[in-house]
Amino acid sequence: MTQSPQHLFYPSVFRTMATSGYNSDAAAATAVSPSSAAAAAALANADAEQARLMSERVLLVDVNDSITGSASKVDAHLLSGGLPLHRAFSVFLFDADRRLCLQRRAGTKLTFPGYWTNTCCSHPLAGGAEVDGVGGAAVAAVRKLGHELGITAGGDRGIAVDDLVYMTRVHYRAASGGAGGQQGVGGGTKVDVGDGGEDPTAAAAAAGAVWGEHEIDYVFVATKDVDVVPEPNEVSELAWVGPDRLRAMLNGDGGVAVTPWCRAIAERFVFEWWPKVDDRTTLVSHRDADTIHRFGDC
């Protein structure tokens, strides 16, 4: 396999894929039933496909991002289960005109339904190449870009692992309230990730919220013109925006709600990166590979 600059960050992933025939489109975990009465109750009225996806197993980690085990997505996202810290990724995809692709999460989603967010955000799964740090998160990102947005894995109009530029990691915790478009508990405001003085998820649970996120999130940037065919069960709308439009959305113009992880990453990093996204060398010079940036009460 030809060596590329991304092998500096993804060596073992390329080695695993080359020697084992690992299929990044295949789920990396065996589906299991909800492991608690609370999980079963939370999924009782859920969309069938979203409930199925919640049986996938994510990687539990400690605050230093060392893997400590695995859990089903449902158990990792229930407020009543304490929101165990787990690994995630977020992709910010730009086109050749430096417009950022945003998606609005479908109303069927269990966490943050109807909220606007970055291009793609999900989780590496337990088992296979996706456990392998930055490289594993990149493999998971390619898989989910295909699942959620119909973007092919590689090719002239698709996204391959090598197209993703790893930038940094963020650690945040947030509760998911009602449907997006209404501010409030989990409504995409700065309060959702806490101010360091109280646990925002405790107030959300007291207000009747069920779901939340507690993640160490690997952040990737890609710049490429791609073909996008959104999956309606995952994505209800797409928008390609410039920095002024994103700022307006973060300010709540039009009553939109933005997911707390997208807000935190955008406000801290994305506007700084934006002018460099089509110059890979300059973009990489802004990479902070080792730091885990912590938001709110984390």
Other C-beta atoms closer than 10 Å to the C-beta of 225 total 10
Could you give the CA distance from residue 219 to residue 289 in angstroms, rounded to a whole number?
10
Q: Which two three-digit tokens encode residue 108?
A: 């069927």
Give which of 192, 188, 195, 216 is closest to 204, Cα–Cα.
192
User: Mapping DSSP to helix (H, G, I), strand (E, B) and coil, where does residue 286 land?
Assistant: coil
Of the candidates 120, 215, 262, 298, the residue annotated as catalytic is 215
What's CA 194's distance to the chain center, in Å? 19
User: Mapping DSSP to helix (H, G, I), strand (E, B) and coil, where does residue 181 land?
Assistant: coil
Terminal Cα distance for the chain, rounded: 40
| Cβ within 8 Å of residue 164, ≥6 positions away | 6, 91, 138, 141, 142, 220, 221, 222
What's CA 1's distance to the chain center, in Å? 29
101 is catalytic: no
Query: Which residue intervals of 125-215 are DSSP H helices?
Result: 133-149, 200-206
Of the candidates 121, 130, 148, 213, the residue annotated as catalytic is 121
Could you give the CA distance from residue 88 to residue 39 in angstroms, rounded to a whole number?
20
121 is catalytic: yes
| Cβ within 8 Å of residue 244, ≥6 positions away | none
Q: How far is CA 130 from CA 4, 97, 125, 141, 289, in A?
A: 20, 31, 6, 9, 18
Query: DSSP class of residue 81?
Result: G
The radius of gyration of the chain from alpha carbons, rounded to an integer in Å, stands at: 18
- The set of catalytic residues is 121, 215
